[in-house]
Amino acid sequence: MDKRIDSREALSALRARVRQQLEPREGAEALRITVHMGTCGIAAGARDIIHHFAEQLDRENLHEVALTRAGCAGLCDQEPMITLRDASGTEFRYGRLDQRKIEEIVQGHVLQGVPVRKYLITA
């Protein structure tokens, strides 16, 4: 159920809450998750992807994981996609993401350090 915004203060509070969700999370960078948000990524649902990742990371109290945005990665047919860089600097690309896949990636790769191979584009 949507609430009406009936005051300037309510609008400011909503703006602050949304801005916090959209701003990149900067952490100690044990891991960095970059959501590719070029035109093709946004059209494929990258905005929802970054929100779902932020929710999952918050739910698991993973504040040390950086969540950032970047432009197009050149693999438009794989959008929405992310690049996950671990502490050693190794990059993993995951593509054609949705909420269920994000949950699996957080549980498997982020929490346990085991790449979820079935969603990998490159390793």
Residue 123 has pLDDT above 80, yes or no: no
Tokens of 83: 């690049």
CB distance 59 to 94 below 8 Å? no
Is a pLDDT exceeding 60 seen at residue 103? yes
DSSP calls for 72-101:
--S-GGG-S-EEEE-TT--EEEE-S--HHH
pLDDT of residue 13: 85
Given a cut of 90, whether residue 5 has pLDDT beyond it is no
- Tell me what pLDDT residue 67 has: 92
The pLDDT tens digits for 35-44 are 999 999 999 9
108/116 Cα distance (integer angstroms): 6
Query: Once rounded to an integer, what is the mean pLDDT over residues 82-87?
Result: 94
The kind and range of the H/E element at 122 are strand 120-122
> Does residue 51 surpass a pLDDT of 60?
yes
Kindly list the domain boundaries of the chain, sorted by start residue: 24-122
* Second CATH level (architecture) for the domain 24-122: 3-Layer(aba) Sandwich (3.40)
Q: Which amino acid is at 81?
A: M
pTM of the model: 0.76
Residue 22 has pLDDT above 70, yes or no: no
